[in-house]
Amino acid sequence: MITLTGVTKQYTKDSIALHDIHLHIGSGEFVSIVGQSGSGKTTLVKLLIAEERPSKGKIDIGGWDITRISYDDIPHLRRQIGVIFQDFKLLPKKTINENVAFALQVAGEPSHRIREVVPRVLDIVGLGHKMHRYPYQISGGEQQRVVIARSLVHRPKILVADEPTGNLDSINTLEIIEILKKINEFGTTVVLVTHNRDVVNLLKRRVITLHEGKVIADEAIGKYRL
Amino acid sequence: MLSFLRVIKFAFQDMARNFSLSFMTVLILMLMLLSVNAVVVVRVLTAQAVSSIKEQIDLSIFFDHDVTESQIEDVKSHVNSFPEVTSVTYLTREEVLDAFKRQHEGSSDILSSIDELGSNPLGPTLIIKARDPSDYQKIITSLNVPEYEDSIEAKTFTDTEKAISRINAITTRVEQLSFGLSALFAIIAFLIIFNTIKVGIYTQRIEISIKKLVGATNWFIRGPYIVEATFFSLVAILLTMVFVFGAMRFLDPYIAIVFGTPSFLTGYFTSHILTLVPLQFFAVFTLTALTSLLAMRRYLRV
């Protein structure tokens, strides 16, 4: 599903974010990528959604070499990968319903399908009754659930979650992790980037540990070791 | 087609939800357009004033009172040979005397002096009108030759020459000032609009990057801004024209006192509306749309 071959990302001569990364994440896997601040986790996410391009190496997603992706094809790639951000990245001037619908509108989905799908997805994340509210009118945990709804609405095969619980309390953190597990159970590959020890230890899934831009551990059922 | 309709929908949704920003943008565009139209008014009034002054200028050739008909005919045909000359009016000695008496109706001393002379001391006159005040110099020079010395009072030429050169200098200066003022207003207007739009885009930079991360194409993001630029330009120009016509109706009675033409400015704007409105719309739209696209370019690189 996702294969990184010898990927290096160098910003300046002295700043190497990722160094010679070799990874393979299979279809339907739930992988946690852990590491301290500055270990290269966020750079890895940026490479996966083509926000950055590697300096060296190759990234293959579902048979698509995204290191050579054209500028015009980037939106098409992003419509196939769901992304959850730590800072939510919701459109402040759009309602919750409109935020989720936007992901389908950019993909050219017909209006009748959007009207049918969006409320259903919002119901799944427990926000159907708040669909006409604006992001500032709901809590942080609820905002993160809206982001999950937005990232799932076009049924992506891969979900990349970059520190999705970073701004949440422990109760909301557990809720979000439960939702991610359910999403994975339905067959979606989940890549969870986090530095939350409790979350990683609770999951008991594959853990890839990054340190100073290098993979220092890759365990099938791992623990947070840093 | 579906995407296009969504772009229009998003544009109107953004305008409504960013009402204060939309309102300020239209207001700034209106102020710019009002400045431009104020300059147009100044230029029109200047042109009309200059043309009125030019119309009042003529060259009068005063003949000696004992000049012969053939000498007058010689001068007349010589003057008529100039393509710059638009009209030549011949006044007989009697007509000149009548005009002189009418001109000095209130001055009994002057009139009684004429009567005391017993005969008409004034010679016949040719009144010449040319296309432009600068053309008179050429005619004056051509008449300032020994051939016509005996029949024409040369002193009159010198007086006219001075007046004409002064008017030419004034009109040239007024036109230069008007052009300079227009250029200054255009630069100020451009800078104000450029910065207003730039600040507007800057406040929406995060939204632009979010849209990109969710999978929107550049066109899908830029589209609403183009629609907004079109709408803002249209509203601004319509409101400006309402203000301009209101102001013209207010100013016209005062202008009529000077130029004697009723509804002079309203008439000018009405007859030129098909040029002024599209031209100003095109300029404002190009400026707003181009500034929007340039300002958001860096935020689209996500």
pTM given for the model: 0.74
SS3 of B85-120 = EEEEEEECHHHHHHHHHHHCCCCHHHHHHHHHHCCC
Q: At what angle do helices A111-124 and A140-152 cross, to 10 degrees?
A: 130
DSSP state of A160: E
Tokens 């993001």, residue? B221
Query: Looking at the partner chain, which of A93, A102, A106 has a beta carbon nearest the beta carbon of B18?
Result: A93
Task: Please tell me the distance from the alpha carbon of residue A116 to that of residue A67, in angstroms, as a whole number.
Answer: 36
Asked if A78 and B215 come within 8 Å (Cβ–Cβ), the reply is yes
Domain boundaries defined on chain B: 2-53+170-300, 57-167
pLDDT digits (tens, 9 = 90+) for A77-114: 998 899 998 888 999 989 999 999 999 998 888 999 99
Query: Strands A189-194 and A30-34: what pairing?
Result: parallel
Structure tokens at B86: 């638009």
Residue A116 burial (C-beta neighbours within 10 Å; 0-12, 13-18, 19+): exposed
Interface pTM, i.e. ipTM: 0.83
What is the least distance, in Å, from the CA of B229 to any CA of chain A?
19
Report the chain B residue with the minimal C-alpha distance to residue A100.
B214
Q: 3-state DSSP call for residue A119?
A: helix
Whether A190 and A83 have beta carbons less than 8 Å apart is answered as no
> Is residue A184 scored above 60 in pLDDT?
yes
Residue A157 burial (C-beta neighbours within 10 Å; 0-12, 13-18, 19+): middle
Question: Count of residues for chain B?
Answer: 302
Average pLDDT over residues A127-156: 92
B207 touches chain A (CB under 8 A): yes
A177 touches chain B (CB under 8 A): no
B301 touches chain A (CB under 8 A): no
Alpha-carbon distances of A22 from A60, A137, B95, B158, rounded to whole Å: 11, 43, 111, 98
Q: At what angle do helices B19-56 and B218-259 cross, to 10 degrees?
A: 30
> Is residue A221 scored above 70 in pLDDT?
yes
In tens digits, what is the pLDDT along chain B, a chain of 302 residues?
Answer: 778 899 999 999 988 988 888 898 899 889 888 888 888 888 888 778 777 777 777 888 888 877 888 888 888 888 888 898 888 888 888 888 888 888 888 888 888 887 887 778 788 888 888 888 778 888 888 888 787 777 777 545 445 556 666 767 877 787 788 778 778 877 887 788 788 778 878 888 888 888 888 889 988 999 998 999 999 999 999 999 999 999 999 999 998 888 888 889 999 999 999 999 999 999 889 988 888 888 888 888 77
Residue A62 sits at φ, ψ, to 5 deg, of 55, 35
Tell me the domains of chain A and their CATH numbers: 1-80+185-226 (3.40.50.300), 83-155 (no CATH)
B279 touches chain A (CB under 8 A): no
Query: Strands A64-65 and A56-61: what pairing?
Result: antiparallel
Give the per-residue pLDDT at B156. Answer: 59
Query: Looking at the partner chain, which of A89, A93, A110 has a beta carbon nearest the beta carbon of B213?
Result: A89
Angle at B160 between CA B159 and CA B166, to 5 degrees: 95
Query: Strands A206-211 and A214-219: what pairing?
Result: antiparallel
Asked if A79 and B215 come within 8 Å (Cβ–Cβ), the reply is yes
| Cβ neighbours of A93 in B, within 8 Å | 13-14, 17-18, 207
Asked if B216 and A83 come within 8 Å (Cβ–Cβ), the reply is no
Q: Which of A188, A187, A163, A158 is nearest to A177 (CA)?
A: A163
Q: Which of B268, B291, B259 is nearest to B189 (CA)?
A: B291
DSSP state of A52: S
| Cβ neighbours of A153 in B, within 8 Å | none
Q: Which of residues 67-86 of A touch B (CB under 8 A)?
A: 72, 75-76, 78-79, 83, 85
> Is residue A57 scored above 90 in pLDDT?
yes
Tokens 């710059």, residue? B84
Tokens 């899934």, residue? A205
B9 touches chain A (CB under 8 A): no
Query: Looking at the partner chain, which of B3, B13, B302 has a beta carbon nearest the beta carbon of A51?
Result: B302
Average pLDDT over residues A143-151: 92
DSSP state string for chain B: -HHHHHHHHHHHHHHHHTHHHHHHHHHHHHHHHHHHHHHHHHHHHHHHHHHHHHHH--EEEEBPTT--HHHHHHHHHHHHT-TTEEEEEEE-HHHHHHHHHHHTTT-HHHHHHHHHH-S--PPPEEEEEESSTTHHHHHHHHH-SHHHHTTB-THHHHHHHHHHHHHHHHHHHHHHHHHHHHHHHHHHHHHHHHHHHHHHHHHTHHHHHHHHHHT--HHHHHHHHHHHHHHHHHHHHHHHHHHHHHHHHHHHHHHHHHH--TTHHHHHHHHTHHHHHHHHHHHHHHHHHHHHHHHHHGGG--
Q: At what angle do helices B135-143 and B155-203 cross, to 10 degrees?
A: 160
Task: Please tell me the distance from the alpha carbon of residue A2 to that of residue A23, in angstroms, as a whole number.
Answer: 8
Report the chain A residue with the minimal C-alpha distance to residue B205.
A91
Q: Which of B93, B135, B137, B86 is nearest to B114 (CA)?
A: B93
Structure tokens at B58: 């003529």
What is the least distance, in Å, from the CA of A78 to any CA of chain B?
5
Asked if B213 and A110 come within 8 Å (Cβ–Cβ), the reply is no
Question: Count of residues for chain A?
Answer: 226
Query: Looking at the partner chain, which of B3, B14, B214 has a beta carbon nearest the beta carbon of A108?
Result: B3
Give me the CATH topology for the region B57-167.
Alpha-Beta Plaits (3.30.70)
DSSP state of A28: T
Q: Which of A178, A216, A180, A191 is nearest to A224 (CA)?
A: A216
Band of residue A214 on the pLDDT scale cut at 50, 70, 90: very high
Give the per-residue pLDDT at B163. Answer: 65
